[in-house]
């Protein structure tokens, strides 16, 4: 199925399928990194945690209530 989609895009755009695939994967991964960075920024602002592990530790110690903290991460 993916091969068919890439072939169609290749025909329409006139760009080699390898480039379409590589650039698509790169954009996808960059969007996931940006999404993760946004979540980390939110954790810092709301709970003073620099990431998931620190938030988990704060919850374990009772510094941060489990709910809604984990709900915001999910």
Give the number of other Cβ atoms within 10 Å of residue 45's Cβ: 9
User: Between the CA of residue 9 and those of 3, 23, 31, 42, what are the distances in Å?
Assistant: 10, 13, 21, 37
Instruction: Provide the whole-model pTM.
Output: 0.71
Task: Indicate the number of domains in the chain.
Answer: 1
Question: Given this model, what pLDDT does residue 52 score?
Answer: 86
Segments forming the whole domain that contains residue 39: 2-73
pLDDT averaged over 10-residue windows placed end to end, the chain, 74 residues: 95 96 97 94 91 90 86 68
């Amino acid at each position: 199925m993916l091969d068919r989609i890439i072939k169609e895009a290749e025909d329409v755009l006139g760009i080699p399928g390898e480039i379409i695939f590589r650039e698509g994967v790169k954009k996808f991964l960059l969007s996931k990194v940006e999404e993760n960075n946004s979540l980390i920024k939110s954790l810092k602002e709301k709970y003073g945690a620099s990431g998931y592990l620190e938030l988990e530790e704060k919850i374990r110690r009772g510094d941060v209530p489990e709910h809604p903290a984990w709900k915001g991460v999910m």
